[in-house]
A and B are shown apart, each in its own frame.
Chain A
Amino acid sequence: MYVAVKGGERAIDNAHQWLAEERRGDPAVPELTIPQIREQMRLAVNRVMAEGSLYDPDLAALAIKQARGDLIEAVFLIRAYRTTLPRLAGSLPVDTGAMAVDRRISATFKDLPGGQVLGPTFDYTHRLLDFALMAEGATQDAPPRVGEANPMEGETRVPHVASFLNRDGLIETADASDTPPPDLTREPMELPADRALRLQALTRGDEGFVLSMAYSTQRGYGRTHAFVGELRIGTVAVEVDIPELGFAVEIGEIELTECETVNQFKGSKTEPPQFTRGYGLVMGQSERKAIAMSLVDRALRWQELGEDFTGAPAQDEEFVLMHCDNIQATGFLEHIKLPHYVDFQAELELVRKLRSEAQAMQEAAE
């Protein structure tokens, strides 16, 4: 129970002023600018955009600055801002086959058309602290490919790995449909959720939560035997049907990470033996999240594929979808620090009464 209490106003004002001072830190150190955060803390910006569910790098950078680098607090600020925006339209589904790829790798096919393009990855770094970065030295530009022709040049489409397997009928297909998808930002999430709704919840879900759920499937709690069929990072155009014009226009470009897993599948009562797929698509360069999302997506599909429910948390739609949102979670978790004086008073009364009753019974017995 919450009771209105007065008297905190001056304390709150002073706390906010101190917060602003602490946010700024030592005034002798130059203040961070929004472009600095946007450009140099880009993966943090990406995470705030993905979980805040709003693609706007400047706003995400502002939120990170305001939140003193607390990314969940920054996500909260973005979610709150998002609710003030009128929804002007829904886009046409983005075409990730036309992505301008920075990175594209496959763990299943060594020689995929276009090749294994590593992009700006942490993989193969030694994870040793680079003290040169402390000295604020300039970096060298990445070398472009010279000499032989760029194999991807002139290609406007980068085919998905799943399409190669599909030629032999060895993998399940995903057939296009333009039914307007359910939107959990407009209608409260209802269970059971279809796959579109699950993917919306997962892509804006907490990276740590989704990662742990995915990891649990790898350790055996709802095992899905996943290979990374393909992982790609790059930009895609966003197209919107403009009502006043009567045709679609590209209104901008966003960076996305897409992961598709290829999962071993022995067949079930309803499906033949073939490879199945898990899918992850996340705003920004968010590789860990995209891979984790595709593993959890696949684990949640047990019913559709006629697999057994083993009781694993990652197979439990309600468990995953109702707990993956870090803003819902933090809101409920942190509300218990707010005044609960009356609730606690009632608990206190109850414990005192129980104790005196127990004491009376003990005395009566003696």
Chain B
Amino acid sequence: MPDALLTDRQTWMATLAKAPPARLAALLPDPPTHMVLRQPEIGAVMVRGRVGATGAAFNLGEMTVTRASVRLATGEVGHAWVQGRDKGHALRAAAVDALMQTDRAADLAAQVLQPLASAAASARAGRAAKAAGTKVDFFTMVRGEDK
């Protein structure tokens, strides 16, 4: 999905899902008091691919996922679906999702989401730069008939 078509909520939920659990815990050491609507549940998502990259869908295999839902004292409901089996990760991500619907959204974006997003972007850029370092620069040898 092109970035421009993503809603803000899709963007922050993706950032939270992909964040390393330890990093999120460090940025949000004390989640706000909340009621757990759905206890963290570990399960699997069947990942699909496409035949020939563009064709019919096929089942590639599963991945582990943890989901959770919380409600803040002020009533906002937050959901999380995160890769892996870390229940604390799912609860924290759900709490941030709920908080982002409150007037604390700007603070949270600056304190939690921004650092996560920029760490992910720099990790990605670092790998891309290493990949680019292995790009082949072809040059043609002088051929016999040119002499």
Taking Cβ atoms with an 8 Å cutoff, the residues of A that contact B are 49-50, 53-56, 58-59, 82, 85-94, 96-97, 100-103, 110-111, 115-121, 142-145, 150-153, 156, 160, 162, 173-185, 195-197, 199-200, 203-204, 237-240, 242, 244-245, 247-254, 256, 258, 260, 277, 279, 281, 283
Contact = CB atoms under 8 A, between A and B. Distances in A.
B98 interface: no
A179 B67 CA distance: 26
A252 B63 contact: yes
Q: Which of B18, B54, B61, B85 neighbours the largest number of chain A CB atoms within 10 Å of its CB?
A: B61
Contact of B17 (A92, A120, A200, A251): A251
B58 A200 contact: yes
Contact of A251 (B46, B51, B55, B81): B81
B17 A249 contact: yes
A162 B62 contact: no
Nearest to A121: B134
Given A175-B54, A196-B56, A100 B63 contact: no
Given A101-B131, A102-B127, A85 B64 contact: yes
Nearest to A142: B130
The SS class assigned to the A binding surface is: mixed
Contacts, number: 238
A237 B47 CA distance: 10
Given A89-B46, A279-B53, A116 B59 contact: no
B5 to A, nearest CB: 11
A252 B61 contact: no
B79 to A, nearest CB: 6
B7 interface: yes
Contacts of A88: 41, 43-45, 65, 67, 81
